[in-house]
Structure 1
């Protein structure tokens, strides 16, 4: 059998994490280095690999139930190769250092099991009840695989140049950045999409670091619910941070 499809064969790599193609992640397991992946994200595997639902502490379950932010993960262990993907979104690898990274959990595909996650809140500078959003803070030393709908934009934030990002387009940012949630209007209409601009809340980043933006405000869909199937794959469009949820 012959076909151009055979040009899309496996990419050989000595790295534990490797981008098989822009929308597919290859993870090599050596028997003592478990990887946590988004539930349902496995599309293929080779070797002796086990998949188990990852245990959530009571605090993690309460945080997810109250904020909609959290990770439903499976533990990949054993020896072999696992291929991970989600809705053909673009995959990007990030090295997490001591500063940490703050992400919308909807865009996390996989991470090292040694990394620590915690739900934190970003409060609106206007103090409007219910307008605060939640994000996931990832700390420790290791790698995390993020997803974006389309090719992303990495924006540098410096003390001389702060950055504003639509709250529906932000994917991740450097944890040390100062974050404010705001709208372009000071009127009561700030609670809903404004007039004919179609714009809503935005996040303002100050300090030294980066903000990762995707060219889409559609995926995950607004007001999606956590759950199984498509809803679980799309995730929840909750965001935001700076204070640990408890």
Structure 2
């Protein structure tokens, strides 16, 4: 049998994490170090691999209930090769070193089990819980695979070059950066977006590091009605757009 499909055969590499194609991750397991992956993200595997739900401590469950940030993970162990994907989103592999990585948990596909995760708060000039209020801090040494909706933009930040990013488009940034959430509005009501521009919360980064931005926003099209009340339309609360729009259904 002949087909152009045979050009998409599995990648051959000695690396632990390999981007098989732009939307699929290949992870090699040797029986020594486990990998933690997003629940339900396995699309194929070879060898003797076990999949188990990852235990969450009481502190982790409490933190997730309070902040909304956390990971639903499965532990993959054994010897062989596992392929992961999620809604055909683009996959990117990063090395986490002592500087750490801050990320929106909804963009994590897989990570080494040796890494540590913790929910952290992002400062707001207004003290209001909104978009980007909490994020996930990943520390230690290891690899993490992130997902984006479309090809991302990597912005390098230096002491003489600060960057502002839409809070609904940010994926991850260097933990060493100083970050503050702000609402760019000229009205006295920070709940109202900038006139009729459709722009709302943004994150301001200063220091030395990088910020990863995707060409998609978490919120649905402006004026779309989701849930109930003003807070829901602006993505807040259990009935808000953030709760209704898991995995970037609106692009």
Tell me if TM exceeds 0.5.
Answer: yes
Residues 64-213 of structure 1 aligned to structure 2 (within 5 Å): 64-127=64-127, 129-131=128-130, 133-213=133-213
| Number of the residue aligned with 1:22 | 22
Aligned to 1:8: 8
Q: CA deviation at 1:4?
A: 1.1
Task: Judge conservation of contact 1:225–1:235 (CA < 8 Å) in 2.
Answer: no
1:243 is aligned to: none
Q: Does the C-alpha gap of structure 1 residues 182 and 219 become closer, same or farther in structure 2, counting only changes over 3 Å? A: closer
2: CA distance, partners of 1:23 / 1:147: 8
C-alpha displacement of 1:68: 1.1
| Count of residue correspondences | 230
1:185 is displaced (CA, Å) by 1.4
Q: Which runs of 4+ in 1 moved over 2 A?
A: 129-132, 186-189, 192-195, 218-226
Instruction: Output the TM-score relative to the length of structure 1.
Output: 0.88
Higher RCO structure (Cα 8 Å, ≥6 apart)? 1
1:189 match: secondary structure? coil
Alignment partners' CA distance in 2, 1:81 and 1:169: 32
**Residue in 1 that maps onto 2:39:** 39
The unaligned stretches of length 5 or more in structure 2 are: 222-234, 236-240
Deviations 1:60-88 (CA, angstroms, capped at 9, x unpaired): 10111111110000000001100001111
Distance 1:206 1:123 in 2: 13
Instruction: Report the equivalent of 2:243.
Output: 225
Q: Secondary structure at the match of 1:106?
A: helix
TM-superposed deviation, 1:195: 2.7
